[in-house]
Each structure stands twice: as C-alpha cells, then as structure tokens.
Amino acid sequence: MIPIFLRLSFANLTLLLDVPQLPAIFASNCFHNYRTLSREFKFVTNETDDLVYPFNRLNKQDKNTNRMGRPRKYNDSKYINIHPLNINLASTFPFGNPF
C-alpha cells in the first residue's frame, strides 16, 4: 500500500505538470475554431460548387460529379439541393438524403 504522502505527491506532480498547459490548450482550441469559422465564411462568400467536402481541393465535387469523379446518379431531379450549410436536407427527399 502506498503511503498517503506519496499519493499526495503524485497528485501535486500531476497538477504541476498539467495546469500550466491549460492556457496553451485553450488558445489552440480557440485558434482552431476561428480558422474553421473563417473557412466557412470564405466558402459562403465564394459560392463554389464543392458540395460534400468544401475544403478538399484534391477531390473536387460538384452537382454533376460525385466524390469518385463519376457522374452523379439521379442528377436530373428537382430535389437536388445539396449544400454543406443547408440544415434540413432530409426533408426534401422522400426517404432521406441519398448522398
């Protein structure tokens, strides 16, 4: 059995090593959220046709091309309204979003 003073020293060591890193973790999280938000704003203002992965520049997708580079199925439907910022996609399709 470990004596109480040794267990407390492990707790103090953990606090001494973890607490000073909290501002760096918080700042990194804020920077990541800001970068993601700025990318979303840039996407909205550019109005590109990238649908599913708007930040993936190697795998281009649009209304006619799927993520494999092939023509999209059921592309002539009036229900095609795919946009990453559109919240209520499932209500436009009778059986949910096929994409």
Q: Which residue has the higher pLDDT, 27 or 69?
A: 27
Residue 65 pLDDT greater than 90, yes or no: no
Q: Does the predicted model carry a pTM greater than 0.75?
A: no
Exposed e or buried b per residue across 71-93, where buried means at least 16 C-beta atoms within 10 angstroms of its C-beta: ebeeeeeeebebbeeeeebeeee
User: What is the pLDDT at residue 34?
Assistant: 93
Burial of 67 (0-12, 13-18, 19+ CB in 10 A): middle
Question: Which whole number is the average pLDDT over 81-97?
Answer: 55
Question: Which whole number is the average pLDDT over 58-78?
Answer: 71
Residue 30 pLDDT greater than 80, yes or no: yes
